[in-house]
Chains A and B, each alone.
Chain A
Amino acid sequence: MSKLFPKSANKLPLQIIIYLGVLVGIATAGVTYYMTPKYTRVGYAPLQPVPFSHAKHVQEVGLDCRYCHSNVDKSAHSNVPTSQTCMNCHNQIKTTSPLLAPVRESAATGKSVPWVWIHKTPDYAYFNHSIHVNRGISCVECHGKVNEMDVVTHTQPLSMSFCLECHRNPAAALRDPKDVFNLDSKRLADQGEAGAKQAAAFVHDWKVKPPQSCSGCHR
């Protein structure tokens, strides 16, 4: 009988268990990497039709976020500027730069520049910019330090758990309202004890109570 199963066969079950374990591990890692926003979104930095550098415009030129994203504090949607906005300056400087050709063409014809959409939430998630920036949540919380980016990169997963993290503990993410558009500013909670106190007062006085149930974002 023993010819059927050699002595080495006794190790087989253990081997199978180990292999299975490894396989499950790989599968989990694969699903996590290929299917969760933490990896599918973070690091996304597509090539744009015009190599616009936020770093240059903010740090060298000194533009405020709202110069271009002018409706971010009014509307749910933070607008991408029209080509006309770009041309406000670029009809003075770099008027012939070949890199700006799409913008000039767009401003002339009225056709859109096909910017690639980077920070995109799913259709069923209704994010509202105005409520966040008007109530102490800075751009940097979701978009990262765009002011330092030459190429805009997705830095946060923007998954539901990411949103909830902050909605469950808003005090940790609040900034002084005047610092909202200053991407280099610090969160109140990071400003020592006084800051933490101020954050707590903010939550209390402004009645900050971010929704945690479905209706906050899903309609």
Chain B
Amino acid sequence: MAAPSYGLIATFDTTPDLYHAAEKVRDAGYRHWDCITPFPVHGLDKAMGLKRSIVPRISLCGGIAGFCTGMSMIWWTGAVDYPLIVGGKPLFSPMFAFPVSYELTILFTAFATIGGMLFLNGLPMHYHPVLKYEHIRRGMDDQFFLVIETRDPRFNLANTKALLEKAGGKNISELEA
């Protein structure tokens, strides 16, 4: 090939078509492939053989960090760095430290969740071969694509194309890298 190719892209019109095609591609043992859908299609993860997302683990770390930040900040500022008697309350108590720690837990969880999601998805990535596909607009709208990357060890232009055709893919074309 003259221009390096990113992979093959096939179009599907309905969710069931995509779903079944994905099952086939999965069963064919491909690893570097993807579905492009305008909305999260329920059950497609399973059809693609995706594992459960690890975002929750990152979130949990964020949450724990937030709570500890809150508690330790309040303890350090109030009881260690500058102890002041305020309203006869103790210098530190987890009770009054709780609301702020709680909020920080949530804040840090949110940061971790979003950051984790973006990180796992490799976003932001404003340039991507798929986005160069001329019909990509429909992929955000009402069509479904299935992309198999050339770097997949099983990728073979002819066989892969055949697989996609067999799975019901239309307009199968190559994507520029």
Direct contact of A and B (CB under 8 A): yes
The CA-CA distance from A137 to B139 in the complex, in Å, is 77
If A1-B131, A10-B126 touch, whether A164 touches B82 (CB-CB below 8 Å) is yes
Which residues of chain B come closer than 8 Å to A2, judged between CB atoms? 127-129, 131-132
Q: Judge whether B127 and A10 touch: CB under 8 Å.
A: yes
Q: Give chain A nearest CB distance to B38 CB in angstroms.
A: 15
Q: Is A13 an interface residue (CB 8 A)?
A: yes
Would you call B88 an interface residue if the criterion is a C-beta within 8 Å of the partner chain's C-beta atoms?
no
A6 at the interface (CB under 8 A from B): yes
Q: Check if A218 is an interface residue, CB within 8 A of chain B.
A: no
Residues of B within 8 A of A116 (CB): none
Residues of A within 8 A of B128 (CB): 2
In the assembled complex, the Cα of A103 lies from the Cα of B131 at a distance in Å of 83
Q: Which residues of B contact A5 (CB under 8 A)?
A: 126-127, 131
Which residues of the other chain, B, contact A1 by a CB distance below 8 angstroms? 131-134, 136
In contact, A12 and B85 (Cβ under 8 angstroms): no
The size of the chain A interface, using a CB distance under 8 A, is 14
Q: What per-residue 1/0 map shows which CB atoms of A3-30 lie under 8 Å from chain B?
A: 0111111101100000000000000000
Task: Provide the residues of chain A in CB contact with B127, threshold 8 Å.
Answer: 2, 5-10
Taking CB atoms, residues of chain B closer than 8 Å to A8 are 127
B84 touches A (CB below 8 Å): yes
Please give the distance in Å from A59's CB to the nearest CB on chain B.
40
C-beta contact mask, A44-58 vs B, less than 8 Å → 1, else 0? 000000000000000
Residue of B126, B131, B133, B134 ringed by the most chain A CB atoms within 10 A: B126
Q: Is A88 an interface residue (CB 8 A)?
A: no
Distance (whole angstroms) from the CB of A18 to the closest CB of chain B: 14
By a CB distance below 8 angstroms, the chain B residues around A6 are: 127
Interface residues on B, range: 10 to 19
Residues of B within 8 A of A97 (CB): none
A164-201 vs B, CB cutoff 8 Å, 1 = contact: the mask equals 10000000000000000000000000000000000000
Q: How far is the CA of A206 from the CA of B133 in the complex (A)?
A: 84
A92 within 8 A of B: no
A213 touches B84 (CB 8 A): yes
Is B125 in contact with chain A by the CB < 8 A criterion?
yes
Min distance, Cβ B143 to any Cβ of chain A, angstroms: 15
Asked if A213 and B85 make an inter-chain contact with CB atoms under 8 angstroms apart, the answer reads yes
Complex Cα spacing A9 to B133, Å: 18
A164-B82, A213-B84 known; A13+B124 contact, CB < 8 A: yes
Write the nearest CB–CB distance from B92 to chain A, whole angstroms: 17
Q: Could you tell me the distance in whole angstroms from the C-beta of B141 to the nearest C-beta in chain A? A: 14
Which chain B residues border A13 with CB–CB below 8 Å?
124
Bound CA–CA A30/B155 (angstroms): 56
CA distance A5 to B131 in the complex (A): 10
B residues 106-137 near A (Cβ < 8 Å) are 124-129, 131-134, 136
Docked complex Cα distance between A164 and B84 (Å):
13
Chain A residues engaging chain B, CB cutoff 8 angstroms: 1-2, 4-10, 12-13, 164, 212-213
4 closest pairs, A vs B, by CB?
A2-B132, A5-B126, A9-B126, A13-B124
